[in-house]
A and B are shown apart, each in its own frame.
Chain A
């Protein structure tokens, strides 16, 4: 156990002294582009302590007693929302769940009005999912409560990337020099963007693979500015997967065909579906991951999704521990 982990575990005791950690600086969690390796390590170690809590008979600690966590989802979501709510409850926070897809928000209330109202109700942490990239940033600039980004448009999904990193670490030890291949609709994927930041910070090499129409324009320059040696783009799936340690197909939204980005689902399956033959090109122990929800039979074959290499369900389980860690660290940041 290293010192960060000790700190994390010590803070988990019933009395919760001080609630401060030396490395942690984040009042908000918006993306992983401003996370250092030490900070990600701290999340991982804290999440391990949380996972231990989730193994107990009574899966609850009083770490966030008296704190109010509001989940505010402008987009339908099942797993992320349930995961955050379960995480908050396991830390004994009061939780309010606000479905912004059907409330006064749809009557034209502005984002900031809604947020201010929630803040006035006493929210300490707002977990926010929004269909527009950057919405949590606008929130964070005008709201004193902590904002945790639970997915904004095409931009970022930091808690997902952290749980992906956590899951990889549990199986492969660490990410240094590991080859992670993300396949599919990179353009519209907040999971891909956050994972690029997080996984490269942890030392992994990332290969982005998809049809040219589903790679964001400007991607190559973006990569060359930040990770010229660590991130590559490859449109041929076989080349991309070769010797991979982790293979992560992304959900293909069926409307991508209607909007002309791909000719047909059939051709997409033929070119980019992760099937057994293609998975065989990766390292024998390679992990199969998916941020969900899956379209089995489209971006991933059912055989691969259910294979022994698949850790997709475990990702969901790990998500609760990682989100508990985030809530805990954000709530415990010294007010200064």
Chain B
């Protein structure tokens, strides 16, 4: 296999507290050296990527996305979803099991892995169901699914309603060392809700989902994690109250981790009234902003950013949820929940860096080594540039501006509230196991022809 040299980039690797300018040399899909390799490698490499002006980071890891295959191939496939991931700088994506059939047995998990191996652009790590058919009653064969390679269990979208069933799931999973990943929502309370419960829902006459619907479930599951000792990962945290519950649980050493999405960090409930949030009433009921958990308030955003800074929140995950046009171009109540997020995540998140809300090292750690810790080392050490680890690397230009145009998405899901936004910060190259899986058109690659 060829030797690839990434030359002259600004290398940031939070896993090693690395923040230097230098080269990264890759051979046979693994990282050979990081730092100053000018003397030898330049002459020796087959492919040279000029990374000047760019940041070289470990490849991003998305703990939470929906690839829709099998079952909903009109919304996304593993091929299109992983290409979207590659374009977004993600080298590993964890796909949720709410497919059809759901990933509740070995055959389904194997099928996804096979498809990913054959057609995927990036590493795909499946999440298995907690209960058969995501019906909240009988547990899946967790040990079997763990052997098949799932990195955790989740009935995402259908939170386990029965506290007893959840307790049993956590007890049973505890011996496997894999996390239970929970979409925290008390559906009895949120029933029929389509957006955040607050003044906007009051104005628009839409049924709201109160913050309490999430927080009640977060509190319940934290209690169960304490009771069972099972690792609990809270998916897409959206409220200030949840952040506080998780912070307090961590102080008590309860094994809980949490993720947040870019859209919950950047948008509020007012986005349902369109981009100009209220000044153009014709833009009301924008289904591209319909997502579950719903977009919340400024207070929640502040708490989520604070949670990232103090380590309460471990990872930023996209909850990439592609939908067909038909499923979004309809009445707000009827429209599907979800945002197609893989291709805009990084550009959106960079606004937090440019606004000086979080620093670049923290942002990268939330996309690399910290989610890697939640996945564990089953698939090798991910989210790092340490020598000998898989060469999953993302190069981005932190200052390059680009216009979001969903019609150019690799994802089949064009459903994004960021369409038409000017973002600052662009993924330029994505490398998975030493192979370039995405390259911006402006990137120059020098190939050495050998005599």
Contacts and interface: CB of A to CB of B under 8 A. Distances in A.
Interface string A134-150: 11011011100000000
B128 interface: no
A133 B205 contact: yes
B168 interface: no
Interface stretch (A151-159, A274-282, A289-297): A151-159
Nearest to A216: B202
A221 B282 contact: no
Contacts of A34: 281
A138 B285 contact: yes
Given A130-B331, A153-B333, A221-B199, A31 B281 contact: yes
B200 interface: yes
A28 B330 CA distance: 19
Interface in B290-339: 326, 329-334
B197 interface: yes
Given A112-B330, A217-B197, A218-B197, A141 B203 contact: no
Interface string B190-228: 000000011111111110101000000000000000000
Contacts of A30: 281-282
A266 interface: no
A33 interface: yes
A133 B334 contact: no
Given A217-B197, A218-B202, A221-B199, A133 B333 contact: yes
B330 A140 contact: no
Contact-residue bracket for chain A? 20 to 34
B284 interface: yes
Interface of B: 197-206, 208, 210, 281-285, 287, 326, 329-334
Contacts of A193: 203, 205
Contacts of B331: 111, 130, 132, 134-135, 138
Interface string A187-217: 0001001000000000000000000000011
Nearest to B280: A34
A153 B205 contact: yes
A111 B326 CA distance: 11
A56 interface: no
Given A138-B330, A138-B331, A217 B198 contact: yes
A153 B204 CA distance: 9
Contacts of B203: 193, 218, 222
A39 to B, nearest CB: 13
Contacts of A133: 204-206, 285, 332-333
Nearest to A189: B205
B330 A137 contact: no
Contacts of A82: none
Nearest to B200: A218
Q: Shortest 3 CB-CB distances between A and B: which pairs?
A: A134-B285, A155-B205, A154-B205
B285 A218 contact: no
A221 B206 CA distance: 15
A107 interface: no
B199 A222 contact: yes
A221 B326 contact: no
A33 B198 contact: no
Contact of B206 (A31, A130, A134, A225): A134
B281 A33 contact: yes
A110 B201 contact: no
28 contacts: A33-B281, A112-B330, A132-B331, A133-B204, A133-B285, A134-B204, A134-B285, A134-B333, A137-B281, A138-B330, A138-B332, A140-B282, A141-B282, A142-B329, A152-B205, A153-B333, A154-B206, A156-B205, A190-B205, A217-B197, A217-B198, A217-B202, A218-B197, A218-B201, A218-B208, A219-B199, A219-B202, A222-B202
A135 B197 CA distance: 19
A28 B287 CA distance: 20
A142 B325 CA distance: 14
A190 B206 CA distance: 11
A140 B284 CA distance: 11
Given A30-B282, A135-B331, A155-B206, 14 more contacts: A33-B281, A130-B331, A132-B331, A133-B204, A137-B285, A138-B287, A138-B330, A140-B282, A153-B333, A217-B210, A218-B199, A218-B208, A221-B198, A222-B203
Nearest to A186: B202
A137 B284 contact: yes
Contacts of A138: 285, 287, 329-332
